[in-house]
Amino acid sequence: MYDNITLEKGLYNISGKSFTEALRELDADENYVGTELEGLDAYERQLKRFDIRVSGPDSDRVEKFFRTTQSAILFPEYVRRCIKAGMDGASVLPEIVAATTYADGVDYRGLSITDKGADTAIAAGAEIPVTSVTNAEAAVALSKYGRQIQTVYEVLRKQRLDLFGVVLKATGAKISGVINNAAAEVLANGVEKKPLIGDALTYADLAAFWASMEGHNMSAMLVSPKVMANILAMDEMRYASGKISGGTVETPYGVKLVKCSGLSDDYAIGVDASSALEMVLGSDVVVDSDKLISSQIDSIAFSVTVGFAKIYSSAVMVLSTVKAG
C-alpha cells in the first residue's frame, strides 16, 4: 500500500519515466478503485501519507516537506507540478498544435507535405491527385527555455505552500509566454500577409480572412492584446458566443480569438489547429531534484526543451492589422 513505500531520490532518475510514473509502478492506481483514495494519483497518495496540504487557506508551510527524509523526496515534484500548471494555464498551444512528437536529440526532422493535382472527380484514365510526403529539408532545432528562482530555504521554510505555489505558477507562466511567441514565429514565417480592405481593421476584414482559407477550416486566430481589444470593441462582436476563458473568445463565425501577449500588433495569424503545427518536445518540465531534496536550497531552476514545425503550410494564414505604407 501507499504508506509502506520507500521513497528515494533515484525515482527521479529512471529513464523514460516521470517521478509519478515510477511511483505508480510501486503503487498501482487500480488498487484503490472503490476506495476513498480513488481519483488520487500515486504522488497525491504520498502527500496524504505525510499529511501535506499543498493548497487552500489551511495549506502547510514549505518546511512540512522536510519533516522526514522520505517526505523531502516529494518536494521537487511539488515544484514541478506548480510550474507545469502555470505553464499550461498561460499556454496558447492547445489552440494551435495539431500533433506532439517526443524527440531525444537536439534537433528533429519532420515531414514535408505537398499536394499535387486538382481536388475534383477523376475522369476515366486520368491520373489520381497525389499527396507527396517526404522528410523536411531543414531540421527543427529544439530550444531550451527556463528560469531560475533565487532564494534560500530560510526564506521559504515558513511560507504557506499555497502562496509559494502562486510564485511557481507565475514563473511557469512567464516561460509559457516565450514559448507561445516561438510557436507564433514559426507559424508566421514565410507567409505573405493579406492586406486590409480599407484603412483600418474591421469585422469585414476578419470575416473575409476566415473565408479565404481554402482546403482547411480556420479554427483559431492568434492576436496581440491590443488587436484583441480592438476586435472585441467591434459592434458585430455583440453576437459572439460569450465564451471568454483563459484569454480566448469565440467569434460569431466560430473562430476562436486567442490572445498571444508577445505577438506584434501589426498582424494576426489564422490557423487550422487540426493540421497547422507540430510541437516537438525534447523534455517536459525538468527541475534540479537533487538540490531541492536537500534543505540547503539556494535557487530553484527549471527548463523545458521544445521546437515547432509547420505541417501543412496551407493551414496557416496571416492578416495585416494595419494599413500598408
- pLDDT tens-digit profile of 176-194? 999 999 999 999 999 999 9
The tens digit of pLDDT for each residue in 77-112 reads 999 999 999 999 999 999 999 999 998 877 787 777
Rounded CA separation 174/183 (Å): 15
* Average pLDDT rounded to a whole number, residues 253-278: 94
* Average pLDDT rounded to a whole number, residues 58-65: 96
Neighbours of 82 (CB within 10 A): 24
Instruction: Pull the grid cell for residue 247.
Output: 484569454
* Average pLDDT rounded to a whole number, residues 312-321: 95
Higher pLDDT, 169 or 241: 169
| Strand pairing report for 248-250 and 143-150 | unpaired
0.95 surpassed by pTM:
no
Rounded CA separation 302/106 (Å): 18
Q: Which residues are registered as beta bridge partners of 141?
A: 107
Rounded CA separation 174/170 (Å): 7
Q: Which 3 state secondary structure label does DSSP give 261?
A: coil
**pLDDT, mean over the chain:** 90
Neighbours of 235 (CB within 10 A): 7
